């Protein structure tokens, strides 16, 4: 077998000689299994599994992960062939400087398939070394699906988790020592609380005894969590071929991620003691209240994306990276984020913290290795404006009496972007820079109807006064806002978008 065709595996690690590549020490494979993870996706492998791997290498957590593949599609063969090893390529911008790191991660010990390995999964549930459950499920997610949880396996993820907890309870008893720390990473608010409520409801529906239900409720910690890292996944074929030529081994599980990482977990000192891997990386934050991280992400990351999306797209930029390379746009988005959104976050947060987060966001936007399309960001544009932007705008007017200039431009560009007509396929399409684009938005018809009026002032008044679009507030009551949006919209229509950015 040639070096080029060598498959990444425990047996071949000694033959891998790549400068700068982090290769696991053999002693890491002897660590006990402490984590049960539902999901094999790239986000889990690029964030929680990476954190645990880093901690293991530092001698902190000292535990490996048993992964459950819940869906029936595909197999675990790729993991089996590679002893669950995979390469994580981290590339991005941190504090304005390029960061590149390649790691062979060894935190996963084995991958089991729920459909055929359910007995083995329940056997691991009885293992006293098990401490933590992590999830990021795609089958039905965190939803109540009624059914028999005694099936092998139960249909839903909460059903599977309930069966795991019951097997553990029967084997190890009802004391605090047998309880687990359960950290779902599904992208819904209050994911831990919702998962716990569903598990308890399923336990009641399936007539489990009260002692077991009390044990689940009192001695198992269901933690809300928030994850934030772009993990695009497996590189394209050309990139893989180039990387294999450089490193001399093939890796069918190779993934890439940005440098930035955040896993905010709501928990107390007990949770901190169990999730000791948090000590290995500042990206893991365990606090009694993680709402501040949700607000920072929602406003400064998502909100900045949303308010700058139409400005960038109408300027002719296809990707975030491309827009950030333009000096005029870079000034606009910096002023928008630092000077307007950060001071108006509807949550008590210091400007120092907000500005630090904003700087990290702009570093992420400048990442030359991420191809993030503006047209993809525009999906369900109006609902994103309602959820991410309107609360910031309203907060601005609680302390100010004049419209925020850059937010106003973002709003005007958004209204121009939503200028569409319905085509023969029933799609709403717009035109910019002589190019046609499709608008994917449940409220597209409202904007198309408003744009039938040729008077720009009427269009703006109609849309800003539509309380259903914005979840309650009538935006025309905000001092100077309607006039400022209309003025910028006219400028965009007659002179283009870049000039107002200046």
Share of residues in the chain with pLDDT > 90 (%):
86
Say if residue 289's pLDDT is above 80: yes
Is residue 149 classed exposed, middle or buried when 0-12, 13-18 and 19+ CB atoms within 10 A define those classes? buried
Question: Per mean pLDDT, which range of 150-154, 157-161, 389-393, 409-413 is the poorest?
Answer: 150-154
What pLDDT is stored for residue 139 in this prediction?
Answer: 47
Look at 41-55, 85-99, 234-248, 441-455 and tell me which has the smallest mean pLDDT.
234-248
Residue 74 has pLDDT above 80, yes or no: no
Task: Specify the range with the lowest mean pLDDT, choosing from 246-250, 282-286, 297-301, 342-346.
Answer: 246-250
Which runs of E-coded beta strand occur in 120-235?
A: 132-135, 181-184, 221-222, 225-228
Which secondary structure element, helix H or strand E, spans residue 112, and what is its range? strand 108-113
User: For 364-394, how does the pLDDT look when each residue is reduced to its tens digit (9 = 90+)?
Assistant: 999 998 888 999 999 999 999 999 999 999 9
CA atoms in the 13 A half-sphere facing the CB of 227: 25
Please tell me the chain's helix, strand, coil percentages from 3-state DSSP, rounded to the nearest 5: 50, 15, 35
CA angle 286, 134, 172 (to 5 degrees): 100
For 222-272, what is each residue's pLDDT tens digit? 999 999 999 987 788 888 888 888 899 999 999 999 999 999 999 999 999
For the stretch 312-334, pLDDT in tens is 999 999 999 999 999 999 999 99
Task: Say how far apart CA 62 and CA 55 lie, in whole Å.
Answer: 7
Contact 304, 341 (CB under 8 A): yes
pLDDT at position 75 over 80 = no
Q: Which residue has the higher pLDDT, 403 or 1?
A: 403
Give start and end residues of each alpha helix (H) in 341-404: 351-365, 374-377, 381-384, 390-399
Q: What percent of the chain has pLDDT over 70?
A: 96
Confidence of residue 496 (pLDDT cuts 50, 70, 90): confident
pTM (2 decimals)? 0.89
**pLDDT given at position 80:** 96
């Amino acid at each position: 077998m040639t070096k080029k065709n060598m498959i990444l595996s425990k047996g071949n690690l000694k033959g891998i000689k790549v400068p700068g590549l982090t290769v696991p020490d053999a002693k890491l494979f002897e660590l006990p299994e402490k984590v049960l993870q539902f999901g094999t996706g790239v986000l889990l492998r690029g964030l929680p599994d990476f954190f645990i791997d880093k901690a293991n290498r530092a001698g902190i957590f000292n535990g490996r992960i048993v992964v459950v593949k819940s869906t029936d599609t595909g197999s675990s063969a790729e993991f089996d062939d590679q002893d669950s090893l995979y390469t994580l390529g981290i590339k991005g911008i941190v504090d304005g400087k390029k960061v590149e790191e390649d790691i062979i991660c060894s935190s996963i010990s084995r991958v089991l398939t729920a459909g055929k390995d359910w007995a083995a999964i329940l056997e691991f549930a009885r293992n006293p070394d098990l401490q933590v459950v992590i999830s990021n499920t795609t089958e039905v997610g965190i939803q109540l699906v009624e059914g028999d949880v005694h099936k092998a396996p139960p249909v839903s993820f909460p059903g599977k988790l309930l069966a795991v907890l019951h097997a553990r309870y029967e084997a190890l008893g009802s004391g605090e020592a047998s309880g687990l720390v359960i950290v779902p990473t599904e992208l819904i608010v209050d994911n831990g609380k919702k998962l716990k409520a569903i598990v308890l409801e399923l336990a009641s529906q399936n007539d489990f005894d009260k002692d077991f239900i009390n044990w689940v409720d009192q001695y198992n910690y269901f933690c809300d969590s928030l994850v934030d890292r772009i993990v695009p996944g497996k590189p394209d074929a050309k990139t893989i071929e180039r990387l294999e030529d450089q490193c001399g081994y093939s890796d069918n599980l190779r993934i890439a991620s940005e440098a930035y990482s955040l896993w905010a977990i709501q928990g107390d000192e007990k949770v901190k003691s169990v999730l000791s891997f948090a000590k290995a990386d500042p990206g893991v934050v365990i606090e009694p209240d993680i709402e501040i991280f949700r607000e920072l992400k929602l406003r400064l990351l998502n909100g900045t994306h949303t308010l700058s999306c139409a400005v960038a797209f109408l300027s002719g930029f296809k990707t975030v990276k491309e827009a950030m390379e333009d000096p005029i746009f870079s000034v606009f988005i910096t002023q928008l984020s630092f000077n307007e959104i950060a001071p108006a976050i509807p949550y008590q947060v210091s400007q120092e913290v907000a500005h630090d987060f904003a700087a990290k966001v702009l570093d992420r936007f400048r990442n030359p290795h991420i191809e993030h399309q503006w047209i993809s960001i525009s999906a369900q544009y109006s609902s994103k404006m309602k959820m991410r932007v309107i609360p910031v705008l309203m907060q601005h007017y609680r302390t100010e009496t004049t419209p925020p200039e850059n937010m106003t431009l973002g709003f005007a560009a958004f209204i121009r972007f939503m200028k569409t007509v319905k085509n023969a396929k029933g799609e709403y399409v717009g035109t910019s820079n002589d190019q046609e684009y499709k608008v994917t938005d449940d409220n597209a018809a409202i904007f198309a109807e408003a744009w039938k009026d040729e008077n720009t002032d009427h269009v703006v008044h109609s849309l800003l006064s539509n309380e259903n679009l914005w979840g309650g507030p009538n935006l025309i009551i905000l001092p100077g806002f309607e006039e400022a949006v209309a003025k910028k919209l006219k400028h965009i229509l007659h002179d283009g978008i870049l000039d107002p950015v200046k």
